[in-house]
Structure 1
Amino acid sequence: MTAPNPSTHDQAARLVEAVNEALTPATSYRDASLLPAVGPTPPVPQPGRPPMSQRATDASALMLTAGLATAPPGLIAIGLLVASGYADPLVIGMICAAPAVIAVPVLAVARLLRGAQGIGAEHHHHYNGPVSQHTVHTETKTRGLFAKTINKQ
């Protein structure tokens, strides 16, 4: 038997080291390729608040804050009335349920009105004699507090 060649041992050790390096999970990776500026993928809504203008975001935050600010004074008032003995729990329950009692019929009427069919897109006009009909769509650029719009043809 002959002793193995030292270069064969070195090659085997390098092969084992390369396999071990390939099998270890990567801790980081940086893709240096440039991303395309425009692609076929549409934007995806992100979690959290829905996308809206800054003004709408500010208004919704203000409404949430105002709604939360009304809860503590109302709870304190109810607690004082109950503790003093001057309030009837049935009356307090009716006061708390009043917004829901009013909202249910209003929402039902709104749903009925939304489902009502309006005038369709098809219009029939009947004329006697010569008629000249023009449809003009003008773009107005009216600005300012006091403005005068003049549509000329």
Structure 2
Amino acid sequence: MRILVQTEPFDAAALTQGFGAGAGAVVTFTGLVRGDNGLKALEIEHYPGMTEASLTRHAQAAIERFGLSDVLIVHRHGRMAVGEPIMMVATAARHRRAAFDAADFLMDWLKSRAPFWKQEIGPDGPRGWVAAQDADEAALDRWADAR
């Protein structure tokens, strides 16, 4: 298991080089800053130490729940422009369904519960903090114990 919380951009291909060796399936997902509604950038804040501990606990829960052989979570903080990668999840398992489900499980939790705070930056400056969306909360409800 590897958890990275960082300001600098990451190379998903380099990070997954050799990831999941010996597994039957590897699933990766990379989230990018969308340019919806004139968005120019996204500013993400977190509490060092608390964030890494929280991500580690949830990654361990995914390993146990889905029988994963490995997990990688990368999440950036600081200011990111439209099109830049925000985060990445990689899961490795014996079978594809476990790898896909684990990636979904981690993404649903990261989107709604991970201790990151996001502020949208538009053409006229900061717009305010982003709240969890109802659709994200509904997705998290699929995993009754994820909250």
Q: Give the TM-score normalised by structure 2.
A: 0.18
More strand by share: 2
Answer 1 or 2: higher relative contact order, Cα 8 Å, separation at least 6. Answer: 2
Structure 1 length normalisation: TM-score?
0.17
Point out the structure with the larger helix share: 1
Whichever of the two has the greater Rg, that structure is 1
